[in-house]
Chains A and B, each alone.
Chain A
Amino acid sequence: MPQQTAHDTILELRRVSKDFATQRAVADVSLEIPRGAFFSLLGPSGCGKTTILRMVAGFETPTTGEVWLNRQRIDSLPPYRRNVNTVFQSYALFPHLSVQGNVEFGLRHKKGTDDIKRVLDVLKQVHLEAKASRKPSELSGGERQRVALARAIVLEPDVLLLDEPLSALDPQLRKQVRVELRDLQRRVGVTFLFVTHDQEEALSMSDQIAVMNGGALEQVGTPREIYAQPRSRFVADFLGAMNWIDGIGVRPEAVSICPEGRKAVVTGVTYLGSFCHIAMTLTEGGELIAAQVPPGSTLQSGQTVCVTWNSVDEIHV
C-alpha cells in the first residue's frame, strides 16, 4: 500500500520555487489542498499567487520543487495533459465561437466526445441555456464569467483554477457572484484553487486560505484562524485594518469608547453609513488608534475620550 495522508489531498506543492530573469516569484512554497475544498491564495499583487496557479495549470514550470495532482507528478506535463482547468482573469473566451462552441471546445480534446447533452446541462447550471448561440461579444461581463466557468467545469477537472475571476465585474455584481460561485462549488464538488487579492472575497468564500507575501507563504488556515490568529504582522494587516499598541494588535471593531480606559484625542470622524470610523491619537504614547462606533455617534475632532478593549481580542504576533 502506498502511504496515504490523513486527509485526502488532491493537489500538493512540494518546496516549489520559481525564478524569473530578474526576481524570485515563488520561494520554497509547500501546500496541500484537500479534495473538494474551496482553497484561496490571498496576497497583494506580485506576491506569487498567480505564478503558483500558472505552475499548476502548466503555463510555467517550477525552477525547483514538485507539483503532484492525484498522486501523479505533473510539473513537467504540458497544460493539455493535466486534468486541471482555468478560469482566466480576462476569461479568454474564444471570440469566434458561440457560447456553446466555447463550452464544447475542450470536450473533444479532453474527453473525446462532443456530448451535447452535457454541454446543455452545464449551461443550465450557470443559467445560460438561453444564450447558447450568442457570441461572447454579445454577453454582459457576468455572463462571460459564467461561460468561462462552464467551459472549465464541463471537463470535470480534478482542480478548477480561478485567477481573480471576479475582478472584472462591477462591485455590486461581485458580491452576488461570490455567493453563486460558492454554491456552485458545493454543488459540483470540484476542488477550487482561487487566486485573489481581495481579503473579503477570500474570507467569505474559502474553506482554507493561504496568505502569501513576497513569493513566500505567510500562513495557511481557515478564514477564522487567519483573521483572528494571524501569525505575522503582515497577515494581520492584510486581512483587515489593525491598531498596533505596544506591539499588540487590536482590530478597530474590538475597540470601544467608554468612560474608563486609556485617554485619546479624536483626530477624525468618518461617516460610513453602517458605522462611523473614529481616528484617534493616544495621549500616552502618541500611537494612532482607530475604532468603529455606531453611526449615530456625536463624537467630534479634538474631543478627548477613553478607549478600551477586551484582552481576548488582542492579537499577539
Chain B
Amino acid sequence: MKLRNIFLAPTAILMAVTMLAPLAIIMVYSLLTRGAYGGVELPWTIENFTRLWDPVYAVIFLRSFWIAAVATALCLVLGFPLAMFIARSGSRKNLYLSLVILPFWTSFLIRTYAWMFLLRDTGILNSLLQALRIIREPLSLLYNDGAVILGLVYGFLPFMVLPLYATLERLDPSLLEAAADLGARPRDTLVRVTFPLCAPGIRAGAILVFVPCLGTYLTSDLLGGSKTVMIGNLVQNQFTASRDWPFGAALSLALMAIAMVLLFAARKRGEEML
C-alpha cells in the first residue's frame, strides 16, 4: 500500500462508518413498515415514497424551497458588496476575513437563542422600542417566516461571503480598468465583467447556503415555532412525536435527492460556462 493511501485510510473508514452506513440504514428503513412504538418492521413497502406526493407535504417542501431561496438571495445581495469590500481592503483583508468567521467561535445553537432573546415579545428590541415610545404593543418579530429567514441569513452569510471573496480577490484589476477604458460605467462593468467572472464564486456560495438552508431544522424550530414547518422539522417529527421512522427516512432521502440534483445541475452549468 502506498504511503498516501495509509494516511487516507482513517478518513476513508470514518466516512464509511459515519456517512455511508447511516445512509444505507436510512435507505433500508425507508422501504419498511412503521413499528407501533417507533422503529421499523417488515414487510417491505414503497408506500413511504408514494405518501410524499400528498399535497400536505408538497406544501412543506415548497415552503422550504421558498425560504431557502429567499435566504440565499439575501445572502448574495448582502454578501457581494461585503466580499468586494474585503477583497479591496489591501493589508486589512485578513482582519476583515477573521471578523466574518468570528461568529463560528460560538455555537450556532447559542447564537440562535440569542436571536430569540432579541426578537421575542418581551425581548430587547421590543422593550427598547417601547421604552422609546415608538410602539405601544410589542411587534411579533418571532415565530414567523421572516424570523426564520433572518436566522438563516445571519447563520449562513459567511458561507456566501468566503467563496465570493475568493473569486473577487483573484479578479484581475486591469480587467476593470479595461472595461472603464472601453466606455463602461461602473454599473456596466459590474454587470458585464465582474458578475460573469465571479459566476463560479456565486454558484459555490449559492450551493453552500441553499442546500443547508433547505434542510435546516434548528433555525426553523427555534425562530419559526409551530407555524413555520420546514422539511427538516417534518423529518425530526417523524422520528420523535409521530414515531414513523420509515416515512422520516423517505423524507430525508427525498431531500437528499433534491440537493444532489441541484448540485449536479449547478456543476453542469459551470462546465458549460468554461
**A interface residue numbers (CB < 8 A to B):** 57-59, 78-80, 84-86, 88, 90, 92-96, 105-106, 108-110, 151-152, 155
CB A77 to nearest CB in B, in angstroms, measures 11
Take A79-B177, A92-B172, A94-B175 as given contacts and tell me if A155 and B197 are in contact as well, using a CB distance cutoff of 8 Å. Answer: no
Q: Does B137 contact A (CB under 8 A)?
A: no
Q: Does B98 contact A (CB under 8 A)?
A: no
- Identify A105's interface contact among B172, B177, B179, CB under 8 A: B179
A92 near B174 with CB under 8 A, answer yes
Size of interface on B: residues with Cβ below 8 Å to A: 18
B174 near A80 with CB under 8 A, answer no
Nearest 4 pairs between A and B by C-beta? A109-B183, A106-B182, A110-B183, A92-B178
Interface residues of B in 166-190 (CB under 8 A from A): 172, 174-175, 177-185, 188
- Determine the distance from Cα of A126 to Cα of B273 in the docked complex, in whole angstroms: 27
CB pairs A–B below 8 angstroms (27 shown): A57-B177, A79-B177, A80-B180, A80-B183, A84-B181, A85-B181, A86-B177, A88-B177, A90-B174, A92-B175, A92-B178, A93-B178, A94-B175, A94-B178, A94-B193, A96-B196, A96-B197, A105-B192, A106-B184, A108-B183, A109-B183, A109-B188, A110-B182, A110-B183, A151-B182, A155-B182, A155-B183
B178 near A109 with CB under 8 A, answer no
- Determine the distance from Cα of A151 to Cα of B184 in the docked complex, in whole angstroms: 13
Interface residues of B in 70-108 (CB under 8 A from A): none
Task: Specify which chain A residues have a CB less than 8 angstroms from the CB of B172 in the assembled complex.
Answer: 90, 92
B180 near A78 with CB under 8 A, answer yes
CB A266 to nearest CB in B, in angstroms, measures 49
CB A148 to nearest CB in B, in angstroms, measures 9
- Determine the distance from Cα of A84 to Cα of B197 in the docked complex, in whole angstroms: 25
CB A32 to nearest CB in B, in angstroms, measures 23
**B interface residue numbers (CB < 8 A to A):** 172, 174-175, 177-185, 188, 192-193, 196-197, 273
A-B contacts besides A58-B180, A86-B178, A106-B184, 10 pairs, CB < 8 Å: A57-B177, A80-B183, A88-B174, A94-B178, A94-B193, A96-B196, A96-B273, A109-B185, A110-B182, A152-B182
Q: Which of B177, B181, B184 has the most CB of A within 10 A?
A: B181
- Determine the distance from Cα of A152 to Cα of B181 in the docked complex, in whole angstroms: 9
Task: Specify which chain A residues have a CB less than 8 angstroms from the CB of B181 in the assembled complex.
Answer: 57-58, 79-80, 84-86, 106, 152
A59 near B177 with CB under 8 A, answer yes
CB A115 to nearest CB in B, in angstroms, measures 14
Task: Specify which chain A residues have a CB less than 8 angstroms from the CB of B182 in the assembled complex.
Answer: 80, 85, 105-106, 109-110, 151-152, 155
- Determine the distance from Cα of A93 to Cα of B188 in the docked complex, in whole angstroms: 16
- Determine the distance from Cα of A79 to Cα of B178 in the docked complex, in whole angstroms: 9
Task: Specify which chain B residues have a CB less than 8 angstroms from the CB of A84 in the assembled complex.
Answer: 181
A106 near B196 with CB under 8 A, answer no
- Chain A residue at minimum C-beta to C-beta distance from B195: A96
- Chain A residue at minimum C-beta to C-beta distance from B273: A96
Task: Specify which chain B residues have a CB less than 8 angstroms from the CB of A108 in the assembled complex.
Answer: 183
- Determine the distance from Cα of A28 to Cα of B173 in the docked complex, in whole angstroms: 28
- Determine the distance from Cα of A84 to Cα of B172 in the docked complex, in whole angstroms: 21
Task: Specify which chain A residues have a CB less than 8 angstroms from the CB of B273 in the assembled complex.
Answer: 96
Task: Specify which chain B residues have a CB less than 8 angstroms from the CB of A93 in the assembled complex.
Answer: 178
